[in-house]
Each structure stands twice: as C-alpha cells, then as structure tokens.
Amino acid sequence: MTPCANNFPACRPTLLLAALTLWTSLDATAAPPDAPAAGWVDALRQQVQRIDEATPGQLGVFVKRLDTGEALNYQADRRWYLASTAKLPVALAVLQELEARRGSVQQKLVLQEGDKVDGSGALVWQKAGGSYTIESLLKRMMEQSDNTAANLLVRSIGVDTLNRRAQAMMGDGLGPLTDFAQVRYDVYAELHPRARELPRIDLVKIAGAPMGPQRVTALRRTLGVQEDELQVRSMDEAYDRYYRRGTNSTTLVAYGGMLEKLVKGELVSPAHQQLLFIDMKFDRYDNYRLEAGLPRTVKFIHKTGTQHRRACHMGVIHPQDGGRRGIVVATCAEGLDENKQAGAMFEQIGRAITQTLLTSAN
C-alpha cells in the first residue's frame, strides 16, 4: 500500500496536481480548437447587446482571450455587486495566508455560534464547537456556496487581511468586502438601526420568512417595533439602499484580472491552485447559467453569486496549462429576477461565447 493510501488528506494536493497534469497532457495532444472568427469582439458585443435589451435590468460582461489579450468590455468598468462570487477572493486570501505562515489546509478551525448565517449550505445547522479542516471549509464554500463556512474562513484571517489581499488581487476598483452576516446586518439596518444589535442566530430565524413583506414583518417582530418606526417599508428599498453603499463589489475588469492571475499561477502555489480548480468544478458539468450555454466537453472553472435582484457568474474556460488557451468570463446582472431571468440570460451569454469564440467561422 502506498503512503498516500494511508494518508489521503495530506496527499490530496499531490493527487490533484497529478490529475490536472494528466488532463493537461491529454488536452495538449488533442487537436487544436477551432480558431474564433475574425472580429469576435464585435460579433459578441452585438449578441450581448441584444440579450441585454431583451431582458429587464442591466447587464455587464467582460470576456478576454488570454492567448491574444483581446477583450470584450460591456459595462465592465463600473462596479457590480458580487454576491457569492466574493467567495473566490476569500478562498485565495485564506490560501495566501496559509502559504505566508507555512500552514496547511489540514489545519482545523472551530465553528462558533457567531459564524452562523442563513443562506446556502448546511454548516449553519451543525453544533458550535465542531472542528473542520480548512480544506473541507473551502470545498463547502466554493462548491456549495456555504455562507457559514465562508464566515468561519473570513474570521480565521480577519476582514482587514481579506481586504488587503483582495485589493492586491483586484486593485482600487474593489469595494470593501465583509463577511456574510454583515450583509444581513447592513440590509436590515436600512429598515431599522437596531437590527445591528441582533444575535446572529436571529438572522437565521428571520430568514425563515419569505423575502418580501413577510421578511419585513419577521424583522419588525424580532425587534419589537411598530411599522411606523421603520425607515423604509420594503425589502426592495432596503436592498437598493444597501447596494448603493458599494460594499462587496468590484468592476468586472478587476475580477477578470484576478481570474487571469489565478490560472497563470500568480496567486497561490501549484498545489493550492489545483485544489481550487477542483472546488471550482473543473471536472464537473452543471448545465447551469453560463455553463448551460457552453459545450459539455469544455473545461470551465467558475463561481456563481445570487442575491436579491442581483446575480453573477465568473469563470475561466480552458483554465489548464497555465491558461495558455484560457478565456476569462466575468458577468453580472441587476434589476431582474435573480434566479429564472438571470439564469436564462447567462445561458444565452454562454451560447453567444460558444458561437463567437469556441466554434470556427461559418
């Protein structure tokens, strides 16, 4: 029996690196992809504009070919709210801190009640006091978009360190990042300032009420205030005011730059890069949002984000081999249904990318 068979967690980065090396070598021996048609930027821009005009709200798209440096910038220089796509800079900052401290992803962190927050993931329902490896928390955060896992990881390095490292990765276009409980506090405080005093477990309970008037009522009853004491009367107004703050946001150009650095190996060690590739679903096809419009055979690392009337999908097509043939894609939308309408819009963008960049000219 090999040493790795007795100690799989410690060997996982080595196994992942070997697997990605094999994928890369197989990819390198395959026939080269069809060359994109000349003028793909203009062709893609026309399709994106048609998609934008046919869908409520606003759309931003950044697409860059790493082999030529050509890029499409469609409203990509303005800030967009990141939602859970902010979890990628969290993951990168945590891994960078580990490397700086010569730490290991097998290090364990202890779950506290203060880490718990509603949203995706099951960690919120686990008892406080349990310990989890950083590797398992990264997987929960990136694959399942677990908000509680994200909070625990942010607490492990501190919000200041997160923002310092995120700014180094994305530049001055970044709005301050917070943990995911702070998002709730900031939104609810737009309704009533005393919301900031709520225990975190109350945030989880309030989220049990459907978004809309019932959520407002749940918050008001938890605070023990009357309707006429609220600063705004709806969740739509509260979120609109929160989004105007500019926190947890950045430009798509800046986010795309971070993705480019990731696949080129400029942000974390090779072992940590490959671990992230797996957590970003390198070897899976989800048939969801952008990926639903891409060929099933295309390798695509990615992270989605969804919040009230906001949605994003960020990733890199062909991320292997140092991004030699990589195509960075960063897209966000606002002012629309964040699930059904956003999902259909992103799928159409995926199809437009397939037609203009992944198939040969007719």
Mean pLDDT of the chain: 91
Q: Is the dihedral of CA 214, 216, 222, 227 positive or negative?
A: negative
With contact defined as beta carbons under 8 Å apart, do 219 and 195 qualify?
Answer: yes
Distances (CA, A) of 346 to 142, 250, 329: 19, 19, 11
Task: Please report the pLDDT score of residue 38 as a whole number.
Answer: 58
Question: With left for phi above 0 and alpha for psi between -120 and 50, is residue 199 left, alpha or beta?
Answer: beta
pLDDT of residue 154: 98
C-alpha angle 250-252-253 in degrees, rounded to nearest 5: 105
Looking at residue 37, its pLDDT comes to 52
pLDDT on residue 172: 83
What is the rounded CA–CA span in Å between residue 43 and residue 74?
Answer: 12
Closest CA to 332 of 57, 11, 131, 28: 57
Domain 35-84+250-357 is of which CATH architecture? Answer: 3-Layer(aba) Sandwich (3.40)
Q: Mapping DSSP to helix (H, G, I), strand (E, B) and coil, where does residue 80 land?
A: strand
pLDDT at 340: 96
Q: Nearest-CA neighbor of 244 among 81, 84, 86?
A: 81
SS (H, E, C) 203-248: HHHHCCCCCCHHHHHHHHHHHCCCHHHCCCCCHHHHHHHHHCCCCC
The span from the CA of 171 to the CA of 156, in Å, is: 23
Contact between 73 and 255 (Cβ < 8 Å): no
* Domain ranges for the chain: 35-84+250-357, 88-169, 180-243
Contacts (Cβ under 8 Å, ≥6 apart) of 238 = 187, 188, 190, 191, 232
- How confident is the model at residue 24, as a pLDDT? 44
- The token duo for 31 is 């026939």
The HSE-up count of residue 58 (CA atoms within 13 Å, CB side) is 10
Q: Which two tokens stand for residue 245?
A: 């703050």
**CA diameter of the chain:** 70
pLDDT < 50 stretches in the chain? 1-19, 21-35, 361-362
